[in-house]
Amino acid sequence: MTIVGNGSPQGVQITPRLPRRLTPGREPSDWIFHGLATTVGLSVLAVTGAIGLFLGYQSIPTLRHYGWHFFTQSNWLPELNQIGIAAVLVGTAEVALIAMFVSFPLALMFALFITDYAPPRIKSWLVSAVDLMAAVPSIIYGLWGFFLLQPHAIDVARWLSQYLGWLPIFHVDTDPNAAVWQQSSYTGSAFIAGLAVSMMAIPLACAVMRAVFDQAPLGEREAAMALGGTRFGVARTVVLPFAKGGIIGGTMLALGRALGETAAVLIIISPEYLIKARILEAGTQTISALIAANFGDATTSQLSALLTAGFVLFLITLTVNTCAAVVIRRSRSGASTDI
Amino acid sequence: MTTITSAPVREVAPPVGRRAIPRKVQAFTFDDRLSLFGSLASSFALVTIGYDHLLDTSGIVGFLVCWYFVFLLVYAGVLSMSNTRALVVERLVTATLYAVAALVVFALGSAVLYTFFQGWHAFVHFGFFTHDMSGVSPTAPLSQGGILQAIAGTVIEVAIAVGVSLPLGIGTAIYMSEVGGRWSRLVQTVVEAMTALPEILAGLFVYVTLIVDVGLPKSGLAASIAMSVTMVPIIARASEVALRIVPRGLREASSALGASHWKTVRKVVLPSARSGLATATILATARGIGETAIVLITSGASSFLTFNPIGNPMNSLPLFIYTAYTTHEPVAIARAFGAASVLLLMVLVLFVATRFLSREKGVAR
């Protein structure tokens, strides 16, 4: 340490200490780093953006050729020049809605069970189970749905059509009371495909809901407990109202996944191009299964039609996912970590 | 001088009996236990008689559903004899939630166990893992042929896809969260939008552009490119979240010590986010391994072993499962389940790795 001032001993050369000069601006390594990161970011932007634009551009000839009929025609008969997605759109919506109808209550209750009811010992196991459920490939759910679930599900389907067959959606065009009932009328239906797809929708929705339930303010939970509330009382008055946004957002994310699901649906359904509300009856078709089944022997114009169908699906999932993202983002205001 | 203050207190006799013991909050008393098991047993007896003998119904699913609803009714009745309404509701909700949890875990467990159980027929043949299907007809017995070509194909395709999408995805995440700039908002929007891209559409896109328009053959590389198209947005978004939650204080501390931005990112931000980045990568890899729609369209199913991803078709596990399933031959389906078990094992290994990595630092994700 040098002593600077009047008291310094003679003979020591005193140099006035200038403050260290700060060098605003970037070092060479930073220039490279920023340049590289920007290049990667922009090239990913360019490529992914180009894919989106390409898909949109490819659908112009199809839409110009078929016009509005593309959305109202239900047949997919390229050799007769009858191409339309009315039936597959309805089929896609049916499968996805059945999946949501099954998975929403299960995901909600399972998430609530994990955060509020499960004994602490098994809580982390249940969290792992949800993550594992999300990681299992969809084709395995397809095999499971076809070989293990379907033989039991057709019993349920028959029971539903027996007692609720007067409702159009549960009606099946066969005699459910026959002594030897027509099993093949109940297989490969939108109902069974929806059940298999719900296995993929549950973990997505459940993971989001669980994360939001965990963020419910501890003070309010304890306050509700202190007022004599039961666990259900706490859930009803504190957790669920707090997590409303997360519940909606997680459900919509799962819906986006259910709409685009291919492999499981392709294995289970028996393809049929018909607009119908009878979800228990054999035969339906979804957009992604349509593409997977027809791309092989398609001509260029038919490929363009398939791309258009896929683009319509993309627009739907994009809308659903964007809404989900907005809802989730709003519900998590101020949840940031900082030192 | 010492004084013993505790001795007199000890001499006071503890109160014997008489005092009303308050009910422990949220405790599950003997009474509760009795009403739970009693209701279970009585509803089981009731449904056994009513369902199997009095009514014209059968089937295990219907029996369980009926048992469950009758149980809820009986349980509600038993509880309301000695409890307040709030407690009855609480107990019923608890019973419902336990049943839902059991149902979900059972569904997952049945999918996993059923696959392994069915795959066992193929697993006992060692050649199943060391041979390919070249020259073996799909209906040949399980002792002939195997799925080596599909295993090799899956490993090669996913390795290329991860090799492409990992640097791109994490680089994009660093651009979005660390570097920023005029375009970062747009990059974020587009990347988020592309996570909604259905896998089948990514496959069809590559099929139309590379295979139909450019004229390349169906190959493992085409499948890898299509996989990358779906994986880059997933990795980028998940990594961005992992980078975002690194506290800003750490970055400021590093800058205050004179580190350049690059050094800050490399020595502080990336190591802090390591487990999050690893989780994102492994989950995306697991998705890639199970990708069926893409390989169905782009890779072409070969029956022979190939390590060359460029010139020729390349099989993979999901594609092998699907093509074997479509034959509807019992032997082929046994092979499909064998391949499904291998696929599931791969996913399980990756999954355990994820758990291990995210638990390493005591972070509960």
Closest-CA distance, A225 to chain B, in angstroms, reads 10
Mean pLDDT of all residues belonging to chain A: 83
How far, in Å, CA of A267 to CA of B329, rounded? 15
Beta bridge partners of A76: A83
The answer, yes or no, to whether residue B185 has pLDDT greater than 50, is yes
Give the pLDDT band (50/70/90) at residue B359: low
Query: Does the beta-carbon distance from B86 to A32 stay under 8 Å?
Result: no
Closest-CA distance, A80 to chain B, in angstroms, reads 23
To probe the interface with A, which of B64, B87, B204, B209 has the most A CB atoms within 10 Å?
B204
The residues, ordered by sequence, that sit 6+ positions from B69 with a Cβ below 8 Å of its Cβ are none
Residue pair A254/A100 in contact by the 8 Å Cβ criterion: yes
Element (H, E) at B221: helix B220-244
Instruction: Identify the CATH number of the domain defined by range A86-330.
Output: 1.10.3720.10
How far, in Å, CA of A75 to CA of A84, rounded? 6
Element (H, E) at A83: strand A82-83
At B281-324, the pLDDT tens digits run 887 888 888 888 888 888 877 777 778 778 788 888 999 899 88
At A147-167, the pLDDT tens digits run 999 988 888 888 888 888 888
Give the pLDDT band (50/70/90) at residue B362: very low
Closest-CA distance, A248 to chain B, in angstroms, reads 17
Q: What are phi and psi of B145, to 5 degrees?
A: 75, 175
How far, in Å, CA of A212 to CA of B363, rounded? 17
Q: Which amino acid is at A4?
A: V
Mean pLDDT value of segment A91-114: 93
Per-residue burial over B27-40, b if 16 or more Cβ lie within 10 Å, else e, is eeeeeeeebbeebe
What ipTM describes this predicted complex? 0.84
The residues, ordered by sequence, that sit 6+ positions from B109 with a Cβ below 8 Å of its Cβ are none
In Å, how far from its chain's centre is CA B329?
30
Mean pLDDT value of segment A254-272: 89
Nearest by CB to A40, which of B175, B348, B351? B175
> Hey, CA dihedral for B120, B124, B129, B134, is it positive or negative?
negative
At A282-333, the pLDDT tens digits run 888 889 888 888 888 778 888 888 888 889 999 999 898 888 888 877 765 4
Nearest by CB to B107, which of A26, A124, A199? A199
The answer, yes or no, to whether residue B350 has pLDDT greater than 60, is yes
**Which of B 247-276 lie inside 8 A of A, CB atoms?**
247-250, 260-263, 265
Closest-CA distance, B187 to chain A, in angstroms, reads 5
At B218-259, the pLDDT tens digits run 888 889 999 998 899 889 988 988 888 888 899 999 989 988
Q: Is B198 helix (H, G, I), strand (E, B) or coil?
A: coil
Q: What are phi and psi of A238, to 5 degrees?
A: -115, -60
Beta bridge partners of A271: A284
The predicted pLDDT at position A131 comes to 85
Query: Does the beta-carbon distance from A320 to B262 stay under 8 Å?
Result: no
The residue assigned the tokens 């993309």 is A314
The answer, yes or no, to whether residue B106 has pLDDT greater than 90, is yes
Give domain limits for chain A: 86-330
The predicted pLDDT at position B343 comes to 92
* Residue A216, token pair as written in the block: 């419910």
- Structural domains in chain B, CATH included, are 29-122 (no CATH), 148-359 (1.10.3720.10)
Mean pLDDT of all residues belonging to chain B: 83
Give the pLDDT band (50/70/90) at residue B25: low
Query: Does the beta-carbon distance from B179 to A144 stay under 8 Å?
Result: no
Portion of chain A with pLDDT greater than 70, in percent: 91
The predicted pLDDT at position B27 comes to 66
Q: Is B96 on the interface with A (CB under 8 A)?
A: yes
The predicted pLDDT at position A94 comes to 92
